[in-house]
Chains A and B, each alone.
Chain A
């Protein structure tokens, strides 16, 4: 420590204070790091895919940072407001500059920001990677519904607004998506994947999702696309790989195909009210 101007006691006091400060900062951080998995959720959810879980952890750590910084600044404001309220007609010292302090609150935020950026890059590169896959789903959004086709197979799913078309995908396997739009811009958003992407006319947007947990998840268009934007719903059904193979195969047998289509038709016509309640099997919103 370079404090030659200070008398020896000053140096020890300062060193002790510094040690105490280090302890005060390091202990809670270490505790947090050790209990990384038990961080509060901050209202987000880990979701059902690999990248949704990394996004969730990124979210948690960003929230920890935001709460520490926000709390610190709020405490400063509260202290200033309580401590320095006007007591008389006294004019305080007209101080205006404190260069070391100003440099500190310029440089420290820059370091924090680069830290956040580094964490962002790690998660982003994982999420936007497009590894080779065996399963591809073409998603086509239109006013106001979704069409899911499975290239190389006969399988397809189609539905408008509250017919809730149900996209089926296998768990534990990378699934490649080609997202397009037939008319205006739509948003392909599945909350349990912590992921959204625009469906743009004239552009093929590609991404890969590895779903881990089986279940039915709620999806919705998030980009304003006209009158029935609010009702442009779909579901994502994540099934085991064998179930997925069976489902795909059910479209291959011409005899079964008609039956499958008929069955599909009945399920699509499930709704009459404008906003149906979701069945207990559907997970959305959490």
Chain B
């Protein structure tokens, strides 16, 4: 950050990007290169990119597990995997996707890269802690997956590891310990990233970047960071208790020693439900940015959006026991109404997204298609979630495929937003666009595949098929529904392959320029990729869209509904009184 120019009209119409590139290259030559650079770097962009690449690899691994699971379920008496292998597969599918893909991709990957740039900061507040986060995450991921190479196989007690199934009697293998260890490591990486994001947002904002001028994505990441700090330590504590129960003879979760098995569920879900929003909020943020940019409008109801995010975060800390309605040991009405109420801020967000598109000029780039796909799929997942907030309906559908279908609608929506984020911010990170034609093909495979994948699962759940079963009773209708679901999963698999193909095909092929989308927020003001400390100059920040204000002086400085009167030089008039 060298100078802050004021007023913005003094800047040349576009920043001199090739100069910046030269300076950028000059800067980078001070440090090591190649693999040594990757290992020693504390640059948030490189760490974020490492996170992104690692988590996408995790997505491909978790997706491969999912395809094996769906292949096994395509027939009632499948023989592709054994009963115990199946338990390992769905456990590791859930664990890899939740712990190693969705979260790290969002707050370690894209947020790590984008949050500092969006607020005009040179790096994260604690660059070395940031590097530590990545290495803990990578170590944790390898630790968790290495369970497959142990004699007893990987963890097989489900991604929720309910006690007492997860104790040393029922699950004796080393795979379970590696699962706990891996999760502890990635948990710490999440906590450190949470600390980092909060500190960065609170202390490193550029001059003029007030809290209510931050992009929605940064807002959501701040709230996510706070939720991480509130929730993840609880999981860490629970995992240590679980490990002590397994190896040090404590009886925290075992009835024999006077412990309480349900305590594990309380601890797990006290982390687990905020975790749902730790996973979802970043993607809400991505979708918000994408929809605004490709509708060429500001985010509709910006302040409502921020308050909705805060409300979701607050409510999410009081709803954990809706995962435990059928335990018979929780107060049903309280957790029911709290869960119902989450629909309200979520609904506000959905209407705000539609409001942003309303009377816009919608450009259907791949990123925008992914964001709209996210909106629709998330709507389905959200509406079916409302059923599950009602205890009688939860008794009816708990642990059946209805629940599986519900949260797969949600997480597949998040995956679409994630892909949208990659198509949207990819050019900023790499300087190159991805192929739009393949991207659109990928979108349609992903979107249609998701609906074909989830819809039969809803029906199967309502007809009584429990989750986590490798075999199911012979029934021609169940078989047909499962076949359809498997077909949908294959389409989703093809979409993932198309993404990999797209990366390979577009490799350094389509230079993007600094701002290919006529975007609004600060990251699009700097070069693509940004220089070592992100900015050589900053525009004047007078609204939450500094880049837009700079590029469109005629639509200058929209400050939350009030259109300020401008003087002839394009400056805001100072009220005379």
Where the two chains meet, the residues of A that have a C-beta atom closer than 8 Å to any C-beta of B are 42-45, 51-52, 54-55, 58-59, 62, 66, 69-70, 73-74, 76-77, 80-81, 84-88, 90-98, 101-102, 105-106, 109-110, 113-114, 116-117, 119-121, 123-124, 127-128, 143, 183-185, 187, 189, 191, 194-198, 200-203, 205-207, 218, 220-231, 274-275, 277-278, 284-286
Q: Which of B17-25, B116-124, B474-482 contacts A (4 or more CB under 8 A)?
A: B474-482
| Chain B neighbourhood of A97, CB < 8 A | 300-303, 560-561
Asked if B471 and A275 sit within 8 Å, CB to CB, the answer is yes
Q: A73-B350, A91-B296, A185-B261 are in contact. Are A59 and B393 (CB under 8 A)?
A: yes
| Chain B neighbourhood of A124, CB < 8 A | 332-333, 336, 390-392
Q: How far is the CA of A187 from the CA of B458 in the complex (A)?
A: 19
Say if the beta carbon of B134 comes within 8 Å of chain A: no
Q: Of all chain B residues, which has the CB nearest A47?
A: B396
Min CB gap B380→A, angstroms: 7
Q: Which of B55-63, B177-185, B341-349 contacts A (4 or more CB under 8 A)?
A: B341-349
| Chain A neighbourhood of B350, CB < 8 A | 73
Chain B contact-residue range equals 35 or more
Say if the beta carbon of B328 comes within 8 Å of chain A: yes
Q: How far is the CA of A187 from the CA of B333 in the complex (A)?
A: 22
Asked if A277 and B390 sit within 8 Å, CB to CB, the answer is no
Q: How far is the CA of A91 from the CA of B552 in the complex (A)?
A: 10
Asked if A191 and B348 sit within 8 Å, CB to CB, the answer is no
Sample (9) of A-B pairs whose CB atoms are under 8 Å apart: A84-B361, A87-B361, A96-B301, A120-B393, A124-B333, A128-B391, A184-B170, A189-B466, A275-B76
| Chain B neighbourhood of A110, CB < 8 A | 341, 344
| Chain B neighbourhood of A119, CB < 8 A | 390
Q: A227-B87, A275-B76 are in contact. Are A185 and B387 (CB under 8 A)?
A: no
Q: How far is the CA of A187 from the CA of B389 in the complex (A)?
A: 19
Asked if B387 and A59 sit within 8 Å, CB to CB, the answer is yes
Q: Pick the contact of B468 from A120, A195, A224 — CB < 8 Å?
A: A224
Q: Pick the contact of B361 from A73, A91, A143 — CB < 8 Å?
A: A91
Min CB gap B565→A, angstroms: 16
| Chain B neighbourhood of A54, CB < 8 A | 392
Most B CB within 10 A of own CB, among A76, A86, A96, A105: A96
Q: Which of B46-54, B271-279, B351-359 contacts A (4 or more CB under 8 A)?
A: B351-359
Q: How far is the CA of A200 from the CA of B266 in the complex (A)?
A: 14
Q: How far is the CA of A14 from the CA of B119 in the complex (A)?
A: 47
Asked if B327 and A62 sit within 8 Å, CB to CB, the answer is no
Q: How far is the CA of A195 from the CA of B326 in the complex (A)?
A: 9
A-B contact count (CB 8 A): 277
Q: Of all chain B residues, which has the CB nearest A80?
A: B357
Asked if A105 and B83 sit within 8 Å, CB to CB, the answer is no
Say if the beta carbon of B414 comes within 8 Å of chain A: no
Say if the beta carbon of B463 comes within 8 Å of chain A: yes
| Chain A neighbourhood of B466, CB < 8 A | 187, 189, 220-222, 230
Asked if B301 and A86 sit within 8 Å, CB to CB, the answer is no
Chain B, range 461-506, C-beta contacts under 8 Å to A: 462-475, 477-478
Q: A73-B379, A86-B362, A226-B170 are in contact. Are A120 and B459 (CB under 8 A)?
A: no
| Chain A neighbourhood of B329, CB < 8 A | 200, 203, 205
Q: Give me the 7 closest cross-chain CB pairs, A-B, nearest first.
A: A191-B464, A202-B255, A230-B469, A222-B399, A222-B466, A120-B390, A97-B561
Q: How far is the CA of A275 from the CA of B386 in the complex (A)?
A: 35
Additional A-B contact list (9), CB under 8 Å, known A66-B383, A96-B298, A185-B261: A86-B362, A96-B300, A97-B561, A117-B333, A117-B337, A120-B336, A184-B170, A194-B395, A196-B395
| Chain B neighbourhood of A201, CB < 8 A | 164, 255, 261
Min CB gap A187→B, angstroms: 5
Name A's interface SS: mixed
Asked if A94 and B362 sit within 8 Å, CB to CB, the answer is no
Asked if A105 and B351 sit within 8 Å, CB to CB, the answer is yes
| Chain A neighbourhood of B165, CB < 8 A | 184-185, 224-226
| Chain B neighbourhood of A76, CB < 8 A | 354
Q: Of all chain A residues, which has the CB nearest B259?
A: A202
Min CB gap A119→B, angstroms: 8
Min CB gap B368→A, angstroms: 10
Say if the beta carbon of B507 comes within 8 Å of chain A: no
Q: A91-B555, A202-B255 are in contact. Are A106 and B348 (CB under 8 A)?
A: yes
| Chain B neighbourhood of A184, CB < 8 A | 162, 164-165, 170
Min CB gap A221→B, angstroms: 7
Asked if B395 and A81 sit within 8 Å, CB to CB, the answer is no
Asked if A205 and B464 sit within 8 Å, CB to CB, the answer is no
| Chain B neighbourhood of A127, CB < 8 A | 392, 395
Asked if A117 and B399 sit within 8 Å, CB to CB, the answer is no
Asked if A203 and B357 sit within 8 Å, CB to CB, the answer is no
Q: How far is the CA of A116 from the CA of B387 in the complex (A)?
A: 9
Asked if A203 and B360 sit within 8 Å, CB to CB, the answer is no
| Chain A neighbourhood of B343, CB < 8 A | 109, 113
Asked if B392 and A120 sit within 8 Å, CB to CB, the answer is yes
Asked if B393 and A191 sit within 8 Å, CB to CB, the answer is no
| Chain A neighbourhood of B570, CB < 8 A | none
Q: Of all chain A residues, which has the CB nearest B403?
A: A222
Min CB gap A227→B, angstroms: 5
Q: A44-B462, A80-B362, A226-B165 are in contact. Are A197 and B170 (CB under 8 A)?
A: no
Say if the beta carbon of B260 comes within 8 Å of chain A: yes
Say if the beta carbon of B558 comes within 8 Å of chain A: yes
Q: Pick the contact of A200 from B303, B304, B327, B333 — CB < 8 Å?
A: B327
Asked if B301 and A102 sit within 8 Å, CB to CB, the answer is yes
| Chain B neighbourhood of A226, CB < 8 A | 87, 165, 170
| Chain A neighbourhood of B157, CB < 8 A | 224
| Chain A neighbourhood of B552, CB < 8 A | 91
Q: Of all chain B residues, which has the CB nearest A116?
A: B340
Asked if A198 and B328 sit within 8 Å, CB to CB, the answer is yes
Asked if B361 and A90 sit within 8 Å, CB to CB, the answer is yes
Asked if B468 and A70 sit within 8 Å, CB to CB, the answer is no
Say if the beta carbon of B203 comes within 8 Å of chain A: no
Asked if A278 and B473 sit within 8 Å, CB to CB, the answer is yes
Asked if A218 and B473 sit within 8 Å, CB to CB, the answer is yes
| Chain A neighbourhood of B384, CB < 8 A | 66
Q: How far is the CA of A278 from the CA of B467 in the complex (A)?
A: 20
Min CB gap A74→B, angstroms: 7
Mask of B265-304 contacts with A, CB within 8 angstroms, 1/0: 0000000000000000000000000000001111111111
Say if the beta carbon of B363 comes within 8 Å of chain A: yes
Most A CB within 10 A of own CB, among B329, B392, B555: B392
